[in-house]
Structure 1
Amino acid sequence: MADRAAGSVSEALAARAQRIARDVHAEISAHIPTYGRVPRADVEASVVQIVDDVEAVLRAGAVPPPASIAQAEESSRARAKQGVPIHDIMHAFRFSMGAIRDAVSAIAAETALDAAETVRLLTLMWSYSDAYTVKVVAVYRQSDIESALEQARRTQQFLLGLLDGTLEGGDLTAAASALLLDPASSYRAVRARPARGEVGPLLLELQRQGARHEGVSVFAAIGAQCVGVVAFRPEAVGDDGVVALGPAVGVTELAVSFRSAHAVLAAATTLGLSGVHDLADLSWRAAAANADEVTALLRERYLAPLADQGEFGQLVLEAVAVYLAEDRSVPRAARAVPVHVNTLRYRLRRFEELTGCRLDSTDTIVEVSFALGVAARVV
């Protein structure tokens, strides 16, 4: 008897599927804005399929396991690709189940179905609803993972193409657009390297910084470096890591920015610098880092004479480096070392005696700074 009653309700429910689909679409359109991206035919087809599933559940008297509810997987994947968030998908599903519940209740009343059987059928419906929800959540979680992996793959391919110069023209513009980079905005290339350890923490911190700033930023770990494109100037990461920046350019000129960032990173690494640097920050120091023969000549001229002086030679060299870093202010340099001003003057005088140069000569100032690599760094 119960089977015949369930069969009658199922048949009547199936006959109302199209009307239920139209009503549900109207409710979704009125209350869930993100479904404006979904064609009406798609929404109504999904609702009809849900009605068919419920009709089969009522007829069979049993709910299938979540994994076998194909409609939940198909529609969830489709909505995810259309940019509908999971909470809106579930909201729409509740509209569907509400409309189906109302239809089943109306059919039960029209056919004078007894209360116990009505409750049984409605219970089956809500059990199906629970199984459907489990499937949707699983599918959406997997879809998120797949989307993240695909985004990471696209990002890495984009950055690799810029690094090796194989991405250009229309392909570059298309790849940048796929990553939501604005062709009308300016971006800076980033090449960063941790002083020690894995590149992962550096990548994570730069991604966090990007999330705090307006505009799109993309990063990827490539080899021992973190490579990226940003619309802001990153902050220093850790005490010893170095972040090298290229100039701000349009999307089509990003390869140029990457070449500059590469030169900055190489120079900063050679000079033993940490923190955030671009070419303007390093200025002539970038040339010093890449002029081995000139640097060797000048170090022989200005630094080698101090090597025979042992520890005192290092103290003299420190005094010169700090003196230059403090714009040749003896009082400031003495405080920075720290020593008495007369001690600093003595060490500077000994430097002049040992090297045969004068620290009031422009050539000497330039050459000694070049030899040191960076004026404030003791070599």
Structure 2
Amino acid sequence: MEGSTTVPEAVAALHARIGALTDEVIAALRGQLPSYAALPPEGIRPRVTMAIRNGLAVVQRWADEEQRSPRGGVRDGGRSHDLPAGYLDEVATLARVLPVEDVLSAYRIGSDVVWRCFGEEMAARHATAEELLPIAETLRAWANATTLRIVRSCHTAARRDITTDRRNSALVRALLLGEARWDDPDDPDAVDGQGTDGTTCDRSALRLPFRARLPVSGSGSPAPAAASEHEVLARAVDLLGPWLARDAVGGPLVTTVDGDAAGLLTARPDGLCRGLVVGVGAPAARAALATEFTRATQALRAAVDSGFVGTFTREELGLRATVVAMPAIGAQLVGLRLEPLAERGEDGAQLEEAAAAYLRQGMRLEAAARSLYVHPNTLRNRLRRFEELTGTHLRDPADLAEVWWALAHRRIHGPAD
């Protein structure tokens, strides 16, 4: 059969340009799968190259067996389904970073690219469709069997990770909350890079602590109560997966803190990350993680209060984060600018609401009146009474800033005891 002698030539041609072929597959993966687009190309290149070589090896084995059994003998012998040692472990590790369905889709996308290029090489050697058909059937059977083994391997790895994830969760909580002892030189149980429970974490690497929460709805109401800690954590792992720090076996270093997802990142997430509100600290070594996690928490609280979605540092939120970080000053301003209204009861609450609406609407009187469903003259009268009772001049920038800070403090920290 002429095609059986042409196949090795086509396979050799693809091996000769394996680098360009790998680039083409990676471009297709990043163009069709957002999760792969978030990964650095060099991070997935070795796996893509290995997968391409595996597929070409299947075709080469088919050609060898065809030459031995040209009249329909057994061409596969089961060997075309063999995979290199450690290949499934590599895929399972990748599935800890990316959704399993994306890993399987990537396998299909890569196979399509390689098959198209192989077909072009065969066509250049005048191969016919009849000659390509048995090769396609062999590759399809191999791809189906390999996909099934990948799914089984990923499920087995996921079950094995349950215990590891619990240990990781304990380690991460201890690091973020300042309760870890791994950096204590006097701790006899401390092993370089390893916690007392056997969990490993690179001692010298700088990590960005983060804290994340589901965004509020467009109406300003909180996210549904059905969003449990598990759901918040799952969303964080799904959206932040490419940037999550991981242990020695690929487990994500994440946990939950008071209902929020929290953990360590290797880099700041790219893009807006619309599905989460994320506060991040600065890159820090182990000893400073708790301090930076506090800053990440402050950034998260300020972003949530402002109705923002995405990833923020405390510095990027400016005065909003300062309100969170300096509650003592906020309490003083509440006493100065808002407490005089307290003795007025419901009337005082109405005047405070008027001032809050005025600031929320950018000091546009008519817009603020509409938001309160009152006439602009009514709002104008309430603002005048607010100024009289609190000694505030809303046209004075300093007074205006103090009123804004006092209102933000009360909204974030709640009423004083």
TM-score norm. by structure 1 comes to: 0.50
TM-score norm. by structure 2 comes to: 0.46
Please tell me whether Structure 1 or Structure 2 has the larger radius of gyration of its CA atoms: 1
